[in-house]
Amino acid sequence: MIKVWQCIECGYEYEGPKAPTRCPECGADCEAFELYEYEDEEEDWEDEEEWEEDNWDDDKSRRNR
Q: How many CB atoms lie within 10 A of CB 16?
A: 10
Higher pLDDT, 30 or 51: 30
- The 3-state DSSP class for residue 19 equals coil
Domain span at residue 20? 2-63
Model confidence over 41-65: pLDDT tens digits?
A: 655 555 555 556 555 555 445 555 5
Q: Is the pLDDT of residue 35 over 70?
A: yes
CA 32 to chain centre: 21
Higher pLDDT, 1 or 3: 3
- pLDDT at 64 (0 to 100): 53
Q: How many domains does the structure of the chain reveal? A: 1
CATH number for 18: 2.20.28.10
- pLDDT at 57 (0 to 100): 52
